[in-house]
Amino acid sequence: MDKFVIRGGRRLAGEVTISGAKNAAVAILPAVILSDEPCYIENVPSISDVKISLIILKEMGAEVTRTGKDAYRIDPTKIDRCCVPYETARKMRASYYFLGALLGKFNKARVSMPGGCPLGDRPIDQHLKAFSALGADYTLSQGMIDLRADKLTGNQIFFDVVTVGATMNAMLAAVKAEGLTVIENAAKEPHIVDLANFLNSMGANIMGAGTDVIKIRGVKSLHGTNYSVIPDQIEAGTFMIAAAATEGDVVIKNVIPKHLESITKKLEKIGVNIESYDDSIRVWVDGPLVKANVKTSPHPGFPTDMQPQIATLLTLAEGTSIITEGIWDQRFRYVDELRRMGADITVNGTVALIEGTGRLMGAPVKACDLRAGAALIIAGLAASGITEIEDIFHIERGYDGMEIKLREIGADIKKVSVPDKISENEPDTKAVSRNDSADDAEAV
Ligand code: EPZ
């Protein structure tokens, strides 16, 4: 197993380039299934969730060819099954996008219940509500979700809660459904818009993505396309906070400043200087950091996926800050690890009270999920002394070469291999051979 070893106290300075957005890529890759021709996708981040998505596509028969560092040619026309093997799919949350894509293309799908970060209850009732509204029947058995439809027909879908995943899945299932589908109370994240733009580049007819009402007119077929994934809003925000936490001065390139507005506004309130340009943003600190109150909410609110990172920054600010987690009911599991580094944080349900102590001390800690791991890296960079972070496979699910990028702007961080004490949760991204999942196979 690997761990990160960080010697803290060094200011970050220089330029860093952001990779493609994880939460867009993991929806766009399954969406290729809907095309009747090969697709070319660029700016795909090299992260384990993407690797698993590509393995799943290959296991189903798609032809996947790497055409560049972050680019792939994917030919879905040879897909000969509509089932995603349990062992592969359960390793990540986004495997459920194969449900919407396979249903939209073949009127059937068989995918395991998704895995993903342990953030508390993560139901899929709204996904199933959307599929049912379009005419699909579903069964849940042995951890697998089976979908079947004689025909998919456009319908009204009103989500009881704003949900990124179900909004994505409803779009995937509806693009070829006959007639008009109207999704109300839709999620508005940048990755929702990116998936809609990708589908429209294949000939879909989707209007209103990025607002809370999305209209989709079903089309008969979708053609191939060339598409570049948007930059990762959360990776950019993570580097903004890393720069601030080390009192650094960093230019973050390949960003869409509009996607970062809620993060920028909050950081400026904390005393961070920020200058936005066309596709980059400069972050620097030249004075004390001050307390702030943060409430996470769906876009355009402050992103929940930035909550652990900004909590870490606020441990360094003067005064008492309050963080209210508005999306997940268990997203403070990282606090125990920060306490080992000297943080003074009290958690009560979905509210955390942070007493800014202005300093952190290096310690051995463990990443419990993707963004918690990113927060521990930030804490290690700001702390005095050495911090060792275990279970970094969580971090590598969603950050492309994070330690390399940090080293390039002055961090003292290295990845060290440790004799295997394999964590039961570590996803192996080696391919399951196609005949291994023969019993699951279901000809399309
Ligand atoms: C996506 O998860 C992201 N993951 C998460 O990012 C992110 O935290 C989340 O959206 C919110 O922005 C991916 O995109 C792969 P939701 P998702 O459906 O789709 C409830 C990261 O760090 N809900 O928007 O699973 C749910 O319980 C990860 O990159 C239902 O009640 O989140 C939650 O309270 C962590 N029923 C709220 O909606 C459903 O059927 C939002 O969940 C679905 C969701």
- Per residue in 184-198, pLDDT tens? 999 999 999 999 999
Cβ neighbours of residue 253 closer than 8 Å, sequence gap 6 or more: 15, 16, 17, 18, 279, 280
Ligand 1 midpoint to CA 246 (Å): 30
pLDDT of amino acid 431: 56
pLDDT digits (tens, 9 = 90+) for 123-149: 899 999 999 999 999 999 888 899 999
d(CA 6, CA 374): 13
Q: Over 90: is that where the pLDDT of 180 sits?
A: yes
Q: Which of 39, 82, 83, 117 is catalytic?
A: 117
> Atom 21, ligand 1: which residue's CA is nearest?
305
Estimate to the nearest angstrom the gap between the alpha carbon of 441 and the chain centroid.
Answer: 28
Ligand 1 midpoint to CA 22 (Å): 14
Q: Over 70: is that where the pLDDT of 99 sits?
A: yes
Ligand 1 midpoint to CA 400 (Å): 21
> Atom 9, ligand 1: which residue's CA is nearest?
164
Is residue 430 within 8 A of residue 91, CB to CB? The reply is no
The minimum-distance atom of ligand 1 relative to the CA of 26 is 15
Mean pLDDT of 281-294: 97
Element (H, E) at 48: helix 48-59
Please indicate whether residue 261, judged by its CB atom, sits closer than 6 Å to ligand 1.
no
Mean pLDDT of 90-115: 91
Q: Over 70: is that where the pLDDT of 72 sits?
A: yes
In one-letter notation, the amino acid at residue 201 is S
pLDDT of amino acid 81: 87
The minimum-distance atom of ligand 1 relative to the CA of 160 is 31
For domain 2-19+231-436, give the fold: UDP-n-acetylglucosamine1-carboxyvinyl-transferase; Chain (3.65.10)
Ligand 1 midpoint to CA 299 (Å): 12
For domain 22-228, give the fold: UDP-n-acetylglucosamine1-carboxyvinyl-transferase; Chain (3.65.10)
> Atom 13, ligand 1: which residue's CA is nearest?
23
pLDDT of amino acid 438: 41
> Which pTM value belongs to this model?
0.94
E strand segments, 57-201: 63-68, 71-75, 83-84, 108-112, 137-141, 144-148, 156-158, 180-184
pLDDT of amino acid 439: 40
Q: Over 50: is that where the pLDDT of 54 sits?
A: yes
Ligand 1 midpoint to CA 8 (Å): 33
% of the chain surpassing 90 pLDDT? 86
The minimum-distance atom of ligand 1 relative to the CA of 305 is 22
**Least confident segment among 186-190, 270-274, 420-424:** 420-424
Active site residue 117: yes
> Atom 28, ligand 1: which residue's CA is nearest?
305
Q: Over 90: is that where the pLDDT of 425 sits?
A: no
Mean pLDDT of 268-284: 98
Ligand 1 midpoint to CA 283 (Å): 29
The minimum-distance atom of ligand 1 relative to the CA of 304 is 8
> Atom 22, ligand 1: which residue's CA is nearest?
305
User: From edge to edge, which strands make up the β-sheet containing 13-17?
Assistant: 13-17, 249-253, 280-284, 273-276
3-state secondary structure at position 283: strand
Please indicate whether residue 27, judged by its CB atom, sits closer than 6 Å to ligand 1.
no
Is residue 416 within 8 A of residue 19, CB to CB? The reply is no
Q: Over 50: is that where the pLDDT of 270 sits?
A: yes
Per-residue pLDDT band at 428 (split at 50, 70, 90): low
**What does the domain layout of the chain look like in residue ranges?**
2-19+231-436, 22-228
User: Do 2-19+231-436 and 22-228 have matching folds?
Assistant: yes
pLDDT digits (tens, 9 = 90+) for 288-347: 999 999 999 999 999 999 999 999 999 999 999 999 999 999 999 999 999 999 999 999
pLDDT of amino acid 424: 54
73/117: higher pLDDT:
73
Q: Over 50: is that where the pLDDT of 173 sits?
A: yes
What is the chain's mean pLDDT, rounded?
Answer: 94
Q: Over 70: is that where the pLDDT of 209 sits?
A: yes
Cβ neighbours of residue 197 closer than 8 Å, sequence gap 6 or more: 209, 227
Please indicate whether residue 50, judged by its CB atom, sits closer than 6 Å to ligand 1.
no
